[in-house]
Amino acid sequence: MNKAVKIKRCMQNEKRSQFIVNDKKPVSCVLLLLISAWIAGCSISPQPALDGEMLVQKMPLPAGQWEVQQISSELTPSIETRWTSSSGAVAQTIVTYEVRNVDVAALKNEDDNIGEQACEAGFSSKVLTEGIQNGYPQLTWRSLCQAVDGLTALVLHKVIVGNEAHYRFRRTFMKRPTKEEWLLWIDYVHQFIVCDLSHTLAHPCPADLEQTNK
């Protein structure tokens, strides 16, 4: 049975199969896994019950070993979890809270505008899937960035807009992935789900979702 760990806003356990981000406003704690190997963590509180709207993301990430850092901000009501590999690959989950009626296409345009400004030698994006997933709007697309130094980055994006937050995922490839690797990550993002334990008919959570105090 799949299990999930919830410790305030600081969460990561690659030995378990799900990563949960709850919809309550993030607390002011930072978990940084720094290059210098210094680690700043947040305190662990007694574990509250999972409740309300949440993102369920399968763990561990596919394809290799990853280091993780998690940052929450009081300036913007958001929290980012960033995974990096020794090869320079990057994956990010970004949750932005206290938002209402956000359009998924507007979030894509926001990312595309940043890419167009940063990618001086060329930029393109293409929608892969769009529609309703578990009662919430979602949009999955890829973008291709070409820098003036000849480097090319391919980014796989997914956005889900909930009622209490919107949830972004990005997987950045610093070199073109093989077909098998690309399809592996496409399958991975298709398994993302936003659910709501308070509205199980409209937004049901996975049947094997289980909380643990370990």
Residue 155 sits at the vertex; the CA angle it makes with 3 and 87, to the nearest 5 degrees, is 75
Q: How far apart are CA 169 and CA 180, in angstroms?
A: 20
Q: Does residue 104 carry a pLDDT above 50?
A: yes
Q: What is the pLDDT of residues 134-146, one digit of tens each?
A: 999 999 999 999 9
Q: What's the pLDDT score for residue 13?
A: 36
Q: How far apart are CA 98 and CA 74, in angstroms?
A: 12
Q: What is the DSSP string of the chain?
A: ---B---TT----TTSSEEEEESSPPPS-EEEE-TTS-EE-----PPPPP-SEEEEEESSPSSS--EEEEEEETTTTEEEEEEE-TTS-EEEEEEEES--S--HHHHHHHHHHHHHHH-TTEEEEEEEEEEEETTEEEEEEEEEEE-TTS-EEEEEEEEEE-SSEEEEEEEEESSPPPHHHHHHHHHHHHT-EEEETT-TTTSPPPTT--B---
Q: What's the pLDDT score for residue 1?
A: 35
Q: What is the pLDDT of residues 146-203, one digit of tens each?
A: 988 888 899 999 999 999 999 999 999 988 899 999 999 999 999 999 999 988 889 9
65-191: CATH number: 3.40.1000.10
- Least confident segment among 10-24, 55-69, 74-88, 174-188: 10-24
